[in-house]
Amino acid sequence: MRPTWSNRLPTITATIITLPGDGIGPEIMAAARELLAAVGDFHYDEHMIGGASIDAHGTALTEEVLAACRASDAVLLAAVGGPKWDAAVAADPAAPRPEQGLLGLRKDLGLFANLRPVRPSPALLDASPLKRDRIEGTDLLVVRELTGGIYFGESGRDGDTAHDDCAYSVGEVERIARVAFRSARTKVTSVDKANVLETSRLWRETVTRVHAEEFPGVPLEHLLVDNAAMQLVSRPTGFDVIVTENLFGDILSDEAAMLTGSLGMLPSASIGGDGPGLFEPVHGSAPDIAGTGKANPLAMFGSVALMLRHGLGDGDAAAGVESAVDRALEEGLRTSDLGGEATTEDATRAVLANL
């Protein structure tokens, strides 16, 4: 079991900010609330974010919501975005984007480390597009730097030219490297593009120094991002902890999600300083199935488990949720994205029955 990154004491009573967001978000949040009700006694404070907030307030994230999140024990988010707001941005590039709410929340709370565990359920090994013998035994963690890099650099347009600037400081790389080394069980793989990018050269130099000075007992390897992408599908069991910058982490963790059989299976935790963490599934808002009852809530349930472990310090409850999901899958639970016909309600009932 990996270390628990929580500054909080174990508790069954906590204030959780719930942010259903857009698309299937309200449906999987309702399922998460049912699951949490079976785990402990929590106080919920629900708010808008993303497109729903744009429609109601003209911005993807209000100061009121930020203040509530800062004062909470943990923040649970479902999904943001959709074609309605994409069309508005296409018509007016200055229009607010739903994703700005998520980026603003991460930045305001100082959530610089995104943890994305990838462990295919034994029951879903044949659901992956990769062969069983390639993925069996995979249990890796992607540690993605979350508040720097190209996503937060200067950007703009000048006529028919556009630019997005990527920048990293030594301090930003040091703190994410420490999270990776503390999370490792066997080794850390640092991913960069040091043969081309100056930011990657700084990244590699800094990770190497932090390793030598603070974690010499943890094996470290460096991989270029294109090689890492190839090895993720050719030998995923060879990884333990992958640490990388914002853009590379976004891409590689989505690639790694397919080892589980579906992007709908991957949870995430965003952590940082002494304040609350943010917990959310990696998948999007899936507006095409919103309201149909087909949404897969299992990544949301995985995010609940990460919240219990890393946000509220209750590792036993987290393990119980994860075990219940595994048992439900072993008993045959399959939502439409996994090739089955189970509805969101069916999946929720199956997991609760095994809790």
Quickly count: other Cβ atoms within 10 Å of residue 353's Cβ.
Answer: 12
Yes or no: say if 277 and 75 are a contact pair by the CB < 8 Å rule: yes
In angstroms, rounded to a whole number, what is the distance separating the alpha carbons of residues 5 and 117? 14
In angstroms, rounded to a whole number, what is the distance separating the alpha carbons of residues 116 and 135? 17
What is the predicted pLDDT for the residue at 125? 86
What is the predicted pLDDT for the residue at 120? 87
What is the predicted pLDDT for the residue at 1? 53
Yes or no: say if 295 and 24 are a contact pair by the CB < 8 Å rule: yes
- Fold match between 1-111+266-355 and 129-260? yes
pLDDT in tens, the chain (355 residues): 555 544 443 445 799 999 999 999 999 999 999 999 999 889 999 999 999 999 999 999 999 999 999 999 999 999 999 999 999 999 998 999 999 999 899 889 999 999 999 998 888 888 788 888 889 999 999 999 998 999 889 999 999 999 999 999 999 999 999 999 999 999 999 999 999 999 999 999 999 999 999 999 999 999 999 999 999 999 999 999 999 999 999 999 888 888 887 677 889 999 987 789 999 998 899 999 999 999 999 999 999 999 999 999 999 999 999 999 999 999 999 999 888 999 999 999 999 999 9
Question: Catalytic: 254?
Answer: yes
Quickly count: other Cβ atoms within 10 Å of residue 29's Cβ.
Answer: 22
207: nearest Cα among 226, 189, 232? 189
Question: Catalytic: 288?
Answer: no
What is the predicted pLDDT for the residue at 107? 87
Yes or no: say if 102 and 282 are a contact pair by the CB < 8 Å rule: no
Yes or no: say if 281 and 79 are a contact pair by the CB < 8 Å rule: yes
* CATH, domain 1-111+266-355, list 3.40.50.1000, 3.30.530.20, 1.10.10.10, 3.40.718.10: 3.40.718.10
Residue reference for tokens 């307030």: 57
Domain ranges of the chain: 1-111+266-355, 129-260
In angstroms, rounded to a whole number, what is the distance separating the alpha carbons of residues 49 and 210? 37
In angstroms, rounded to a whole number, what is the distance separating the alpha carbons of residues 303 and 213? 33
Which is catalytic among the residues 73, 193, 240, 294?
193
Question: Catalytic: 250?
Answer: yes
Question: Catalytic: 346?
Answer: no
CATH topology of domain 129-260: Isopropylmalate Dehydrogenase (3.40.718)
Question: Catalytic: 314?
Answer: no
Burial 84-100 (b: 16+ CB within 10 A, else e): ebeebeeeeeeebbbbb
Q: Give the pairing type, strands 267-271 and 277-281.
A: antiparallel
288, burial (CB in 10 Å: exposed 0-12, middle 13-18, buried 19+): exposed
Phi, psi of 268 (to 5 degrees): -155, 155
Amino acid identity, residue 325?
A: V
In angstroms, rounded to a whole number, what is the distance separating the alpha carbons of residues 276 and 293? 31
pTM of the model: 0.88
Which is catalytic among the residues 250, 294, 314, 337?
250
234, burial (CB in 10 Å: exposed 0-12, middle 13-18, buried 19+): exposed
Which is catalytic among the residues 73, 151, 192, 314?
151
